[in-house]
Each structure stands twice: as C-alpha cells, then as structure tokens.
Amino acid sequence: MNYTESSPLTESTAIDFTPELESIIPVPSNETTCQNWREIHHLVFHVANIFFTIGLVIPTTLHLHMILLRGMLTIGCTLYIVWATLYRCALDIMIWNSVFLGVNILHLSYLLYKKRPVKIEKELSGIYRRLFEPLRVPPDLFKRLTGQFCMIQTLKKGQTYAAEDKTSVDDRLSILLKGKMKVSYRGHFLHNIYPCAFIDSPEFRSTQMHKGEKFQVTIIADDNCRFLCWSRERLTYFLESEPFLYEIFRYLIGKDITNKLYSLNDPTLNDKKAKKLEHQLSLCTQISMLEMRNSIASSSDSDDGLHQFLRGTSSISSLHVPSPHQRGSTKMKPIEEGVEDDDEVFEPVSPNALKVHQLP
C-alpha cells in the first residue's frame, strides 16, 4: 500500500497559516452580532455627551437660551476632540468635531456680540431714559436712530428756531436736549418747551409730509439751547423700515402734542408738572386738547380764534367749541382728531378718569 506520510514541518506550517487565513476571509455583514461588547469608553467621552444633553434640554423661554445652547455644544465638541485624539486615535472623529467646534464658536461669538452693552452718549442718555426706555426700545435700535441721519445743534438765547409764516416745516424734527424755548403766536405767548420734549411735533403730525407748509407759530430760544435734529424725509423712510419704532414715534409725538395743549391751558405749567400730567391723561381731555389746537391752526388769518381760546380754557376738563365764524386756513391742514391709544403702549386709561369728563 502506498501512502504519504506528512512531515512534522508541513503540519506546523499549516497550523501557523490557519489563523491568518481566517482573518483574511471577510465575514458577511448580515452575520455580525454584538456577542462581545467592547469596553466602555473613557470618561471624557461621557462628559462630552452630558454637555450635549444639557444644551438640548435648556428651555427656549430662557432669556439666554441660544447662548447657553451654543456654549454647551462648544464644550462638548472640545471634549470629543480630546477623546478622539488622546484615547481613541480616530482622525475622522477629530476632524468632524473640529468643524462642529468652529461653527459653534462663530455662532456663539455673534450672539455675544449682539448682547454687548451698547454705550449711549451722555448727552442723549436723558432722552433715552425718559422717552424710549420705558417703551422697551433696545439701546442698539436707539443708537441706530440717533447715529445715522441726525445731528446736535445749538441755539443761543434769543435766536429763532422757527419764524411764523416763514420757516418751512418740511426740513426737520427736533427734540430739545438742554435749555428752554418759548412759543408765541402773533406776539401772544402760548407755552414753553422744556428738555426731552419735541420742538415741532404739531407741525410734524399735521402736515404729513406735504411740501411747502410753513410754521404758524414762532419758536425762540429762551436760554442757550441744544437740540437733537433729524432730517424729516430720511427719518420718515427709516421709520417705514422699522414698524416697531414707527409706532413708538407715533405715540410719543401724540403725547407730546397733548402735553403742549395742556400747557396752552396753563401757561405756568413747568417741566415737573408736565411729567405728572403724562400719567393722568384721559380720553375726553385728549380730544378737548386736540380740538383746541385745531382752533389755533385754523385761525391763521384771524385773531378771534386765539382770543376765544385764551378766554375759554380756564378749566382743563371743559371741551372747546370752535366759533362758527372761524374760517379754515389753506396753509396747513388741521391735526386729525385721532387719539393715541395708551392701551397699545402699556398704560391703560383709568375708568374713573373717563367718568369725570362727560359730554353734554
């Protein structure tokens, strides 16, 4: 019988190559099972995922929600990079998390830039605190309003801001920063203008951007004055692009006109009294004041309206009835008798105040 006897060398060689052949032969993916779980990853990996979880569960109602979210994601990505580099030696994980880290840092920097404290000029801080801050106008929006198309101008005592029937109302809108101005009509003193008040709000409201209108009153500096002056046309275009600020201006100008009409009732009204009146305006009183302002605006060719107004305004709760002999002026449209709705601007009208002023 013929047989081949295997040598010990051959057997040992075959045994040595068997594990290598098994490792070369690929195992089908559908046959892989997690029979032997790998060891738990390093603590850095788990801490990174904890930061991711914290960032995702931050409530959106929180004021700094987006900043905290981006901060947590930034820390998590950083820890992932440390884990992939030092403990996993995985280049692809490190690269992808580096990209995520860069994106989050850029977004976080942008959010922090938007939250930076905006410094308002000292000369304008009084206007902001008095007029705009109570109505929740952000400092950055106020700075945009006052930093692009306006300037601060000066008038010495006795100089004229506007001359009756001469100065155009189309050019500007101004707020007094410092000093005092007095307003007169045909030589008759009407009222004073104090700091943080609009100088030409009635003209701004009544003309509605019609060209060629003239002031019907004379405004003279009673002290050395400084005022903030906007280009009227550019301000109008800017407010059209900012609806929130447009409503704020609409309210502030309406309230300023009402305060001026109160001061027409009481020529001794000073700045402190005007501040108190800002919170005591009732619906009927506002209507009364606007009607009285119309009587002045519609009597530019006759002194009857002025004399009747000065005689009949001793009580702020009485309604002024215009004379049937007054004739309307063709130079300026009267102010629309629309009343600013304080409900839209955080201060509801007291029902007790409405009961005091009853129409006959």
What pLDDT score was predicted for residue 202? 87
What pLDDT score was predicted for residue 213? 81
Count of beta carbons in the 10 Å neighbourhood of residue 313 = 19
- Whether 46 and 146 map to the same domain: the answer is no
- Whether 57 and 173 map to the same domain: the answer is no
Q: Is residue 165 part of a domain?
A: yes
Give the residue ranges of DSSP H helices in the chain.
8-24, 43-57, 65-83, 91-114, 122-127, 139-147, 201-207, 232-241, 243-265, 271-277, 283-297, 304-311, 351-356
Lookup: tokens for 184 = 């007169």
- Residue ending a domain, choose from 223, 248, 266: 266
User: How big is the chain by its Cα radius of gyration, in Å?
Assistant: 38
Cα–Cα distance, 246 to 133 (Å, whole number) = 15
- Whether 147 and 111 map to the same domain: the answer is no
**H-run or E-run covering 150:** strand 150-155
CB 55 within 8 Å of CB 71: yes
CB 77 within 8 Å of CB 97: yes
- Whether 139 and 82 map to the same domain: the answer is no
Lookup: tokens for 190 = 């009407």
Cα–Cα distance, 252 to 230 (Å, whole number) = 15
CB 126 within 8 Å of CB 195: yes
C-alpha dihedral (343, 172, 245, 63), degrees to nearest 10: -120
- Whether 152 and 256 map to the same domain: the answer is yes
Count of beta carbons in the 10 Å neighbourhood of residue 126 = 14
- Whether 184 and 82 map to the same domain: the answer is no
130: amino acid identity, one letter: R
- Residue ending a domain, choose from 266, 282, 314: 266
Domain limits for position 94: 38-115
The contacts of residue 122 (CB under 8 Å, 6+ apart) are none
- Whether 213 and 139 map to the same domain: the answer is yes
CB 205 within 8 Å of CB 226: no
The 3-class SS string of 166-228 reads CCECCCEEEEEEECCEEEEECCEEEEEECCCCECCHHHHHHHCCCCCCECCCEEEECCCEEEE
Q: Is residue 330 part of a domain?
A: no
pLDDT tens, N- to C-terminus, the chain (360 residues): 444 454 554 444 444 544 444 444 454 555 556 777 778 888 999 999 999 999 999 998 888 889 999 999 999 999 999 999 998 888 999 999 999 999 999 999 999 988 888 888 888 988 999 999 999 999 889 988 988 778 999 999 999 999 998 888 888 899 999 999 999 998 888 889 999 999 988 888 877 656 678 888 999 999 999 999 998 888 888 999 999 999 999 999 999 998 888 877 765 555 555 555 444 443 334 444 444 445 545 544 444 544 454 444 433 334 443 444 444 444 444 444 444 444 444 444 454 444 444 444
Residue that is written with structure tokens 């809108």 in the block: 173
Cα–Cα distance, 146 to 332 (Å, whole number) = 29
Cα 139–Cα 241–Cα 235 angle in degrees, nearest 5: 75
Cα–Cα distance, 255 to 252 (Å, whole number) = 5
- Whether 99 and 155 map to the same domain: the answer is no
- Whether 56 and 171 map to the same domain: the answer is no
CA distances from 294 to 65, 172, 285, 334, 336 (A): 51, 22, 14, 5, 9
Cα–Cα distance, 239 to 32 (Å, whole number) = 67
Q: What's the number of domains the chain is made of?
A: 2
Q: Is residue 108 part of a domain?
A: yes
